[in-house]
A and B are shown apart, each in its own frame.
Chain A
Amino acid sequence: MRRQLEGSRAVAETVARCRPEVIAAYPISPQTHIVEALSQLTKTGELEPCEFINVESEFAAMSVAIGASATGARAYTATASQGLLFMVEALYNASGLGLPIVMTVANRAIGAPINIWNDHSDSMSQRDSGWIQLYAETNQEAADLHVQAFRLAEELSLPVMVCMDGFILTHAVEEVELPTREQVDAYLPPFVPRQVLDPDEPMTIGAMVGPEAFTEVKYLMHAKQMRALEAIPRIASEFEHEFGRSSGGLLRTYRTEDADTVVLALGSVLGTIEDVVDELREQGERIGVVGLKCFRPYPLDEVRAALGHARRVVVIEKAFAVGVGGIVGQNVRLALSGLPAAVYGVIAGLGGRPITKASLHRVLREGIDDRLGHLTFLDLDLDRVPAGAT
């Protein structure tokens, strides 16, 4: 049923319909509204049967989820920013043990300086943690991706991170078609764990592995995550079939046919970019958009196919690797290696700085005119910086 509601609420109610059995949460902006809503749904009994556990840290939140998942329970948690970093040790453990935990990351910047506003520094810092990473463009997609995430995670025995822009999506009130419990039940089968702690069939989970087998273990982890490249589109199309709308997948193209300039981005900024692209089209520019929905595993072939014909690609991303430049940009270059297309990296929206149509028009114009370097900071205002600081 279609409703006008806050993104966090939409996600919470959707997660609730996925029948999570154990939810562990520690509050951090801008994730709070999600866990508040889930706590309420558990307390009122709408979420029966479910254990909602207020833990003492994100490290504990992920650890509780690990214990629960290893015992065969569908486990969920949500976090952001510093919280995600505080979890890091446990993140690698969850993926290493192959536990299908689903976690929402309400994307937020990482300090210092401390900053509660949105960018992708947090989830991007965990791109190699062994978790699958999905990025939502709208609250509708954020809700839908959680339903798909549980399917995906449990099918592959891998943890999945659903990333949605903090505040911009989590706190935005807009219309969302909430999946009904019936629909979800039909689409998402009960959790059948691949390994479970059970006195009836005891096993040892989490052994120490030495040089003789460690490489093989890691190889298998990689192979398993790569299997997601096949699973994600399939699960997305089954979702479309079941729910009547398209959400997720590996990537989405917009007006890229015949485009010689393609803008590539992830998350909520895509809408604004599409508005700008429409206006540029009206001005006669052959320009399109590729929205990346899945960043891990990295759909290299799909990206290459989607960008292959472009003469230039402008990658707009909300995080960067200090000392190198764009993170998504590097991956795009990898996908395009051997092809003539120029790749322009634009770092935008750091720490919540608004990405406006005006700024996008400016930077894309420069792109179209091939006046962009390989690394640009959008709306960089050096006048603010004391002389000599640079």
Chain B
Amino acid sequence: MRQPIKYYQVGSFAVGNRLLDPDERAVQADPSRSNTLTSGHRACQGCGEALGARYVLDAAMRAAEGRLIAANATGCLEVFTTPYPESAWTLPWVHSLFGNAPAVATGVAAALKVKGRTDVRVIGQGGDGGTVDIGLGCLSGMFERGDDVLFVCYDNEAYMNTGVQRSGATPPAARTATTQAVGPEPGNVFGQGKSAPLIAMAHEIPYVATATIADLRDLEAKVERAMGLHGPRYLHVLVTCPLGWGCDASASIRIARLATQSGLFPVFEAEDGDVTDVTKIRRPVPVEDYLRPQKRFAHLFSPVRRDDVIAQVQSRADRNIQRFGLVD
């Protein structure tokens, strides 16, 4: 049996790969990448959101040939990038409010359209709070009207900026400052929360995709896909928060990877409301591997091991695996 040399082994999933044609290499491998979110920002050590934002915007900048404007919701990303007198952004960027980033982006897009600036593209972005909770109304309106905006949600599954309180994206059993690890049902209760990507798909917009900071090539490919389309597009990126999740700063990417490999965070693409592509699980792991390294789930392992709860979490993962066909 002879293997076709279709994908190179060395660095194949790594950021760069000297064995690939330059145009096949990741944007992040390019020394002249735009660093749209540049150094000197005040994000925590190992911040997944800072990483995700640079990945997304650098890719978008490349796709838009540098003609990009961003509207940002209130949140960690906004606070750690623009404390007077320093801004870490290198693109035209506006922050208005917590709940209105999609609408502000719509306004930007409308202004560009009316001025005939077809070369300039618009991105709206925010955390899970600004997107799936307080911003959902504006987001839905933007989707429904077909506004030409790519909205990116950096989902770290809680209100980190205010000190880790529960959001509509907080997973069951997770401990937050408002879902303490006490009582018979420690952490966030089961049966709550919502899936912004599925809500977005219900609008039958041209493009919806999920991604994580653990699979850069996938993330960049999706940004490129999204930028190739017009109308409302939605990208939901899982970004680790070492502070809020209680993991090592150096573990950000590994934890995000475990989220996908456990099936708890399905990675897929959808067009016009239908799922068109799914990233299969490559190295399946039980949810326990994902939960264990995170302090927000510590109460599932001590003082008494909560097999019942772990099983419940596992069944959520299994449902994703079955629902999205994450395993062949």
Does chain A have a CB within 8 A of B106? yes
Does chain B have a CB within 8 A of A230? no
Contact B145 A70 (CB under 8 A): no
Tally of B interface residues using CB under 8 Å:
45
Contact B107 A49 (CB under 8 A): no
Q: Which chain B residues in 65-98 approach chain A with CB under 8 Å? A: 66-69, 71-72, 78-79, 82-85, 87, 89-97
Q: Which chain A residues in 203-218 approach chain B with CB under 8 Å? A: 203-210, 212-213
Q: How far is the CB of B284 from chain A (nearest CB, A)?
A: 41
- Other-chain residue from A50, A57, A93, A213 in contact with B96 (beta carbon distance below 8 A): A93
Does chain B have a CB within 8 A of A168? no
Contact A205 B95 (CB under 8 A): yes
Contact B144 A21 (CB under 8 A): no
- Other-chain residue from A21, A57, A201, A213 in contact with B137 (beta carbon distance below 8 A): A57
Q: How far is the CB of A102 from chain B (nearest CB, A)?
A: 14
Residues of A within 8 A of B114 (CB): 21-22, 49-51, 73
Q: Which chain A residues in 40-55 approach chain B with CB under 8 Å? A: 49-51, 53-55
Distance between Cα atoms of A286 and B89 in the complex (Å)? 65
Contact A71 B108 (CB under 8 A): yes
Contact B84 A22 (CB under 8 A): no
Distance between Cα atoms of A72 and B103 in the complex (Å)? 16
Please encode chain A, from 45 to 88, with 1 for each CB lying within 8 Å of some chain B CB and 0 for all others.
Answer: 00001110111110110011111111111010000000000000
Does chain B have a CB within 8 A of A198? yes
Task: Using known A-B contacts A63-B97, A63-B103, A210-B84, determine if residue A68 contacts B110 with beta carbons closer than 8 Å.
Answer: yes
Contact A71 B144 (CB under 8 A): no
Does chain B have a CB within 8 A of A89? yes
Does chain B have a CB within 8 A of A378? no
Contact B68 A199 (CB under 8 A): yes
Does chain A have a CB within 8 A of B100? yes
Tally of A interface residues using CB under 8 Å:
44
Q: How far is the CB of A85 from chain B (nearest CB, A)?
A: 15
Residues of B within 8 A of A71 (CB): 69, 107-108, 111-112, 115
Contact B107 A75 (CB under 8 A): yes
Does chain A have a CB within 8 A of B256? no
Does chain B have a CB within 8 A of A280? no
Distance between Cα atoms of A354 and B81 in the complex (Å)? 54
Does chain B have a CB within 8 A of A90? yes
Q: Which chain B residues in 113-149 approach chain A with CB under 8 Å? A: 113-116, 120, 137-138, 140-141, 144-145
- Other-chain residue from A93, A199, A206 in contact with B82 (beta carbon distance below 8 A): A206
Closest to B144 in A: A56
Contact A199 B84 (CB under 8 A): no
Q: Which of B66, B111, B138 has the most CB of A within 10 A?
A: B111
Q: How far is the CB of B98 from chain A (nearest CB, A)?
A: 8
Contact A90 B96 (CB under 8 A): yes
Distance between Cα atoms of A197 and B140 in the complex (Å)? 24
Residues of A within 8 A of B83 (CB): 207-208, 210
Contact A90 B84 (CB under 8 A): no
Contact A70 B108 (CB under 8 A): yes
Would you give 22 A-B contacts (Cβ < 8 Å), ordered by A?
A: A22-B107, A51-B110, A51-B111, A56-B141, A60-B100, A63-B97, A63-B100, A64-B106, A65-B107, A66-B96, A66-B107, A67-B96, A67-B103, A67-B105, A67-B106, A68-B108, A70-B107, A71-B69, A73-B114, A97-B96, A197-B69, A208-B82
